[in-house]
Amino acid sequence: MPTVFFAASRDELALVAAGSVSGLGTAEDLEGLDTVPAGDLDPAQLIDLDMLVTGHDPAEVRDAVLTPAHEEEDTNTVLLPVRSALGSRLAHLSDHDIDALAENWSLATGAPDAGWDAYRCGQLIRSLSLLALLAQADDRDLYVRFDS
């Protein structure tokens, strides 16, 4: 399963984690939740995006982003929280902000080589901005699911 961002309450996160533990590893684990597929996005790219959007210290971002909300040794699935600072800022980006961020993110280390051009980055940022708005409205947090 490709990388997927999703909005969930703590209870919903526990259900997603339980599905991951059972080895389902499918979209069924996220059924009923608001999601944004992110293809082959990797944790390093999420760190780059967080630093670009929030302007926070790289070490602070790296430590927070790479602390799993849930990790199971028997599976290859990791659920990471999206920092609230990133989610909050994503929810309030203008179209101009998104375009500028997309251009900068696409130039981040390794992004162009991985097929992440400004258009693709912009599409994901727009989708994440909408997901962040939905999460705020429903009092949910943002998470990302990586499968290795």
Phi, psi of 109 (to 5 degrees): -50, 120
Span 61-86, average pLDDT: 79
Fold of 4-147: Hypothetical protein yfbM fold (3.40.1760)
Span 29-54, average pLDDT: 90
Non-local CB neighbours of 107 within 8 Å, separated by 6+ positions = none
Span 111-118, average pLDDT: 74
**Residue ranges per structural domain of the chain:** 4-147
Angstrom CA distances, 125 to 48, 63, 142, stand at 13, 22, 14
Is the pLDDT assigned to residue 68 strictly greater than 80?
no
- How big is the CA angle at 88 (ends 86 and 90), to the nearest 5 degrees? 65
Q: How many other C-beta atoms can be found within 10 angstroms of the C-beta atom of residue 123?
A: 13
* DSSP-assigned states of every residue in 1-14: ---EEEEE-HHHHH
The continuous run of DSSP H or E covering 38 comes out as none
Is the pLDDT assigned to residue 90 strictly greater than 90?
yes
Radius of gyration of the chain (CA): 14
Is the pLDDT assigned to residue 24 strictly greater than 50?
no
Is the pLDDT assigned to residue 13 strictly greater than 60?
yes
Helix-helix angle 95-106:118-137, to 10 degrees: 130
